[in-house]
Structure 1
Amino acid sequence: MMSGLDHNRKRNQTICFRATPEERKEIEARIKVSGMPKGEYCRQSLLNQKIEINAGKYQSDRLSIEIKRLRELTEQIPQEQFQDLLQEIKILLKQLISILNDNYELKR
């Protein structure tokens, strides 16, 4: 990324992912049909979709271990850096709660 070109942009972060040639053709066809610019289509598709989680005991145990590890790491962070981290954690937890609520509604 060329920082001189992007520092004044609202959206100055780039996200990339890999796809097969067939997946790319299908994605590009969907973008074309939507009439939206590619970036807007991707943001809307990724941010507004419902995510279904099939979590059994193994996944729940892994989540518990990861939460414990994160708690231990946060205890080592200096107070001045902790506020930025806390804001990021709040955003992630909000997304996780939303996903879990959606999954709960789907299974009812």
Structure 2
Amino acid sequence: MSAKNLDKHNRWRNKTVAFRVSPEEDEQLEIFVKLSGLTKQDYITRRLLEKEVVVQGNPRVYKALRDQFAAVLDELRRIEDGQGVSDELLDTIQMIATIMNGMQEEAAYGN
């Protein structure tokens, strides 16, 4: 039996929710989780409950952004060679743009 877990709001997290995803959906989910800086559990819970996902900049998020920019650049080079744009790539670019816009707003307001 697994250990009981208290979250930061002093709630017991003792229920398990499981579901299946395709390999492509899993890859996209992993990218979004890395870019968010949250744990997978926290990211999925926030999204399912339609709560805002606020990215807190830290070295792990910076590394994920850097790696995703490199992956996007590779994909853009592939596209330049005549292949199509995947929906997953467009979703990743949108997520990166959203994070970068948030970072610009934070810098402008001095937060």
Q: Give the alignment's TM-score, normalised by structure 1.
A: 0.36
| RCO comparison, higher one (Cα < 8 Å, 6+) | 1
Greater percentage in helix:
1
Scaled by the length of structure 2, what TM-score is found?
0.35
